[in-house]
Amino acid sequence: MKALITNDDGIDSPGLLALARGAVDHGWTTVVAAPARESSGTGAGLTAAEDERRVRVERRELAGLPGVPGYAVAAHPAFIALVASQGSFGGPPDIVLSGINRGANVGRAVLHSGTVGAALTASINGARSMAVSLDVGLEWDVEHWSTAVEVATGLFDRLAAAPPGTTLNLNVPNRPRAGVPRRASLAEFGMVRSRVKETDDGSITLASIVVEGDLPPGSDAVLLAEGHSTVTPLLPVTEDRDVDW
């Protein structure tokens, strides 16, 4: 299996390197291509055409990953997944792993996630994909990347055996150990939501707040808050066959 590792936190993210090491240790031929700078919240958006439609790509040496090609790309993660599917970075990948994101991606808000957007873009272009996120919350002292890698690698063989176009969304609690992930539904919203913060200078600022109230049992937000890893298979954009129009 040939694996592409990308993310939306940028090429210098420790979560990206941890996930790439997990793929290498699993025996997959691994390439890393990630945004040159943070691209969180970009969903499946593509980079605007600039500089005569050229996107700058810079080769990078990756700490602890000798022999693994690394590319810093001046583009959003979905763009990276798209061009990878067309043969950039050494040929189309069989597997695209996106993450490890610093922060959970749960509920319908995955629509806005650059981490999930890259995975979905890969899937509609023929790869199997998985978005991986670590639930560090709003305040944390330690990031347990190794926990997320352990849980993710436990799914690698099943992902590789799945049909092309399969996408999994994996969330892992920020703990020293985590068990086998539970299948979870998408919550209507997560435990943390964005709210517009009042400003006086004509700008808009989004602030993160913890949500009070109940969420559906068995949803990704609830199970993750209880300390369980969660996995949710996702479908990319498709037509709604139930609407009579």
Closest residue by Cα to residue 40 from 194, 240, 209: 194
Mean pLDDT, residues 128-155 taken together? 93
pLDDT digits (tens, 9 = 90+) for 89-137: 999 999 999 999 999 999 988 998 999 999 999 999 999 999 999 999 7
211 vs 31, higher pLDDT: 31
Amino acid at 132: V
pLDDT at 38 (0 to 100): 83
DSSP one-letter string for 51-97: TTT---EEEE--TT-TT--EEEESS-HHHHHHHHHTTTTTS--SEEE
User: Class of the 2-186+216-234 domain?
Assistant: alpha beta
The two three-digit tokens of residue 57, written as one number: 């790509």
Residue 67's pLDDT is what? 95
Contacts for 90 with CB less than 8 Å, ≥ 6 apart:
2, 31, 69
Measure CA of the first residue to CA of the last residue in the chain; give whole Å: 42
Higher pLDDT, 192 or 188: 188
In whole angstroms, give the CA distance from residue 191 to residue 4.
30
Output the pLDDT for position 68: 97
Q: Where are the domains of the chain?
A: 2-186+216-234
pLDDT in tens, 197-241: 666 676 766 555 455 556 778 999 999 999 999 999 999 888 888
pLDDT in tens, 38-93: 888 888 888 755 666 788 999 999 999 999 999 999 999 999 999 999 999 999 99
